[in-house]
């Protein structure tokens, strides 16, 4: 069956180079936000018998964790990237999970079975919709009456030192435009009032935002972190137009920044996410 896509640019990235890179380095990416994800799980949003929809599931680490919690229920992980889903399926099979499935689909427009899921969740996968109201309305139709929403999204750039400091190190004297709040991208759901307007327009009520402030882990030590940063999309994107001298300056600045944030628990930088909750009436 041909996949219907509304988020064409995101599909090109995630079902292309970006998704391939993420898949190759999945364990590294999973480690970055593990403290935030654990804070989500610790709040107990999912019950043992729940039928769960995981949106933007990537290589499936959150999906598999949720399947372990929903031990007598089921979990469906949805993503745009065929390669990431291939790894997700392989890992679920290796872990012996029998209550999890994966589907390549654009959650904004995919015709999910109506009133099927008890809860829709996402770990940083719902900020990229080009029409978030339409996307959440579509997700809402897949929820049972009274079904819940529980998703993680980044707060504004200034609250996320991991990106602020990396951005500054790679600037090497340039003025770089930052991703905008409310636009498809990492800060698409950064503004609370915008989030409330979107979700209420999509048919949800009881909208809430809880701040989760836990560091992201860039690596186990400076060398490990530096190796990881060098393969990140932001590093590639912000150095591709630099000459050799400025590239060397950027590399030195990144290394110095990582040294400044090395701790006994790894290279940690400050981060702030929203836990966004809502309910389908």
Q: Please report which confidence band the pLDDT of residue 22 belongs to, taking 50, 70 and 90 as the band edges.
A: confident
Q: What is the pLDDT of residue 18?
A: 79
Q: What is the pLDDT of residue 181?
A: 87
Q: What is the pLDDT of residue 130?
A: 92
Question: What CATH number should be reported for the domain whose range is 8-157+180-216+271-279?
Answer: 3.40.50.150
The pTM assigned to this predicted structure is 0.93
Non-local CB neighbours of 113 within 8 Å, separated by 6+ positions: 142
pLDDT at 8 > cutoff 90: no
Q: What is the pLDDT of residue 134?
A: 97
- Per-residue pLDDT of 202-259, as tens digits, reads 999 999 999 999 999 999 999 999 999 999 988 998 999 999 999 999 999 999 999 9
- Per-residue pLDDT of 75-119, as tens digits, reads 999 999 999 999 999 999 999 999 999 999 999 999 999 999 999
- Per-residue pLDDT of 23-38, as tens digits, reads 999 999 999 999 999 9
**CB half-sphere exposure, 159, CA atoms < 13 A:** 16
Q: Please report which confidence band the pLDDT of residue 177 belongs to, taking 50, 70 and 90 as the band edges.
A: confident
Q: Please report which confidence band the pLDDT of residue 178 belongs to, taking 50, 70 and 90 as the band edges.
A: confident
């Amino acid at each position: 069956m041909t996949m219907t896509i509304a988020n064409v640019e995101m599909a090109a990235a995630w079902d292309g180079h970006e998704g391939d890179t993420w898949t190759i380095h999945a364990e590294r990416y999973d480690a970055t936000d593990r403290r935030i994800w654990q804070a989500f799980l610790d709040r107990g949003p999912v019950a043992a018998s729940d039928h769960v929809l995981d949106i933007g599931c990537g290589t499936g680490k959150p999906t598999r964790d949720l399947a372990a919690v929903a031990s007598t229920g089921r979990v469906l992980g949805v993503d745009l990237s065929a390669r990431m889903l291939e790894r997700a399926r392989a890992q679920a099979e290796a872990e012996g999970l029998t209550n999890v499935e994966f589907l390549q689909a654009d959650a904004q427009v995919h015709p999910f079975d109506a009133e099927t899921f008890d809860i829709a969740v996402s770990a940083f996968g719902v900020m990229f919709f080009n029409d978030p109201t339409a996307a959440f309305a579509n997700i809402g139709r897949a929820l049972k009456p009274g079904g819940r929403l529980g998703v993680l999204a980044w707060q504004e750039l200034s609250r996320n030192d991991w990106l602020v400091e990396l951005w500054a190190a790679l600037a090497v004297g340039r003025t770089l435009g930052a991703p905008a709040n409310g636009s498809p991208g990492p800060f698409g759901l950064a503004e609370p009032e915008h989030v409330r307007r979107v979700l209420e327009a999509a048919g949800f009520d009881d909208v809430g935002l809880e701040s989760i402030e836990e560091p992201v882990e860039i690596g186990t030590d400076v060398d490990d972190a530096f190796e990881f940063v060098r393969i990140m999309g932001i590093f590639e994107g912000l150095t591709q137009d630099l000459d050799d001298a400025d590239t060397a300056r950027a590399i030195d600045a990144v290394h110095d920044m990582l040294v400044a944030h090395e701790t006994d628990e790894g290279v940690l930088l400050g981060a702030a996410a929203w836990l966004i909750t809502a309910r389908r009436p």
